[in-house]
Structure 1
Amino acid sequence: MRVFSSSGTGTRRRGGPGPATASPDPPAPRSRAERRRLARRVRRRRAGRAPRRIAGALAGSVLLTLLVKTFAVQAFVIPSASMEPTLRIGDRVLVDTFSPWTGDAPARGDVVVFTDPGGWGPRTAPGERSGFPGKGWLTALGLVPADDGRTLVKRVVAVGGDTVEGDTSGRILVGGEPVDPPQGAPERPAGAHRPFRVTVPAGRLFVLGDNRGNSADSRVHLDDGHGGTIPQDSVVGTALAVAWPTAHWRSL
């Protein structure tokens, strides 16, 4: 059966094939010179990206290092013999400075670095401070160990609510239990000692040097109005390890 088209100009069978479409001509092959020019352009683009990628990677590494040093770990120099034999003069200790930001409180036995609450450190005239331009910024970033006399290091022996006692022989008791200095620490010097009894206020710490006979610690500041304790907020961080010199590497 034949079916007339709507134009009436011809006939076609229903469902028959439509008009044929011409396929595009394949691209002409590139000459060898064109292929070389294209390869050179690709190499130039890649070469231009490499310095940017390297610079970005270096910048990211430096930023990450600064963040870690500033907010996680910082180096401090031990200025005195008050913590011998645990820490010696000139030791560089790595300090966890991140925990105070999270609200973690120091515990009994921790070695802590804290800012001078007033009258604890040596009095140094501005002209006597050693250093160089920009050292303060480098110290704040953790790239130079802090040695400005405003940061001190001691061991926490009592926390808020504890009762600390000292007898005439130089013994220290916390809650009635003796707190002995670390093994190898110098013996207590002979002679009379000032007896005391202090209840540590909440939010404060009672700290001692491991070198009990040569440490200007909480015992020296008993009359400062807080029983020789320091504010917990003054703690910069907890000492983790001795990093330098290599002969004295140790964890704390």
Structure 2
Amino acid sequence: MDTEAKYSERDPATDPHPGESAEGSRSADSRGDTGTEATTESIWARLGIGSWRGMAVLGVTVITVVLLFSHFVIQPFQIPSGSMAPALHSGDRVLVNKLAYRFGAEPERGDVIVFDGRGSFVREGLEENPVSAAARGVLTATGLMDPDDTDFVKRVVGVGGDRVVCCDKGGGIQVNGVAVDEGYLYPGDKASEVAFDIVVPDGTLWVMGDHRSDSRDSRDHLGQPGGGMVPVEKVVGRADWIAWPVSRLTSLEKTDAFARVPDASARPSHGRMSGRSAPPAGVPMGSSAPGGIDG
């Protein structure tokens, strides 16, 4: 019994810090915890996060990074209408790839693009107040505000040099003499209620919505300055992904509808299409006047 008691009394002597009492050990542990907390606080203090000034700097840094990323790489846009259904629904938020056409590449037939319609789809208006314009740009870039009414999303149907005709005997569109099977059209829609026969000038695009009966697009500007053509330089980027709502999270796959369409250089310069000779670049030869399309 005495031996066991003495053995238990000797247990504290096995502590790696002889001479310290149990209270001393607990005190050392407490100092260790305090040191860790102090180290963490010191790190945050060095970063300036613990002060209002540090938080403000962090906020400005985050916003700056988001703005740069949005300006040069990817920008969110909200779809305002059903003109691109069924591919895009009203209220969808798409991510626009701004690098798609930055390094020599240009929009291709079938691409779904976002572009600035000023000077083509809408008249050039008065300049907005610089302060409000900057604020709007920040909110739009971060996805907190819808894009300007001057931004549009449409599908490229014709590129520079292409001859686009509607409608052929089958009621569809021809590009450079080849019928296009537009499987992406809204169910029940015709290729167009407005007949047209145009040649797309170099450096511009002929664009149309997928929901043809609910889309105001290049057809609505036939006969106007520019003839409904969108300058390539006005293209913001290519819509590559649907990011919201989560139930529709997906990528927008490229259509093969234009796979058989030859380059414009292969189109006969004096050929005939649908019984009519080729018009000068950008000059429509439709039998119907523009208009009559809602949306």
Fold match, TM over 0.5? Answer: yes
Q: Pairwise CA RMSD of aligned residues?
A: 3.7
Deviation at 1:81, TM superposition (A): 1.3
Structure 2 counterpart SS, 1:49: helix
Separation of aligned partners in 2, 1:82 and 1:196: 20
Deviation at 1:121, TM superposition (A): 5.6
Deviation at 1:206, TM superposition (A): 0.7
Deviation at 1:41, TM superposition (A): 9.7
Q: Residues 202-249 of structure 1: CA distance to partner in whole angstroms, max 9, x if unpaired?
A: 100010101122211112212124332111111111101111111222
Matched residue, 1:248: 248
Separation of aligned partners in 2, 1:246 and 1:111: 20
TM-score by length of 2: 0.59
Separation of aligned partners in 2, 1:118 and 1:61: 34
Q: Which of structures 1 and 2 has the bigger CA Rg?
A: 1
Structure 2 counterpart SS, 1:52: helix
Change (3 A) 1:42 1:96: closer
CA contact 2:81–2:89 (8 Å) conserved in 1: yes
Letter matched to residue 88 of structure 2: L
Change (3 A) 1:53 1:183: same
Deviation at 1:138, TM superposition (A): 2.3
Separation of aligned partners in 2, 1:114 and 1:133: 18
List gaps (5 residues or longer) in structure 2.
1-27, 126-131, 253-295
Matched residue, 2:12: none
CA contact 1:186–1:212 (8 Å) conserved in 2: no
Show the 5 A alignment for 1:136-175.
Answer: 136-167=136-167, 170-175=171-176
Matched residue, 1:32: none
TM-score by length of 1: 0.68
Letter matched to residue 166 of structure 2: G
Structure 2 counterpart SS, 1:154: strand
Show the 5 A alignment for 1:31-180.
Answer: 47-53=41-47, 55=49, 58=58, 62-118=63-119, 120=121, 135-167=135-167, 170-180=171-181
Separation of aligned partners in 1, 2:120 and 2:107: 22
Q: Residues 66-118 of structure 1: CA distance to partner in whole angstroms, max 9, x if unpaired?
A: 32122111111111111010111111111012344434311111100011134
Aligned residue-pair number: 209
List gaps (5 residues or longer) in structure 1.
1-35, 125-131
CA contact 2:203–2:231 (8 Å) conserved in 1: yes
Structure 2 counterpart SS, 1:138: helix
Letter matched to residue 210 of structure 1: D
Separation of aligned partners in 2, 1:170 and 1:213: 15
CA contact 2:185–2:212 (8 Å) conserved in 1: no
Separation of aligned partners in 1, 2:88 and 2:35: 61
Percent identity, please.
37
CA contact 2:136–2:145 (8 Å) conserved in 1: no
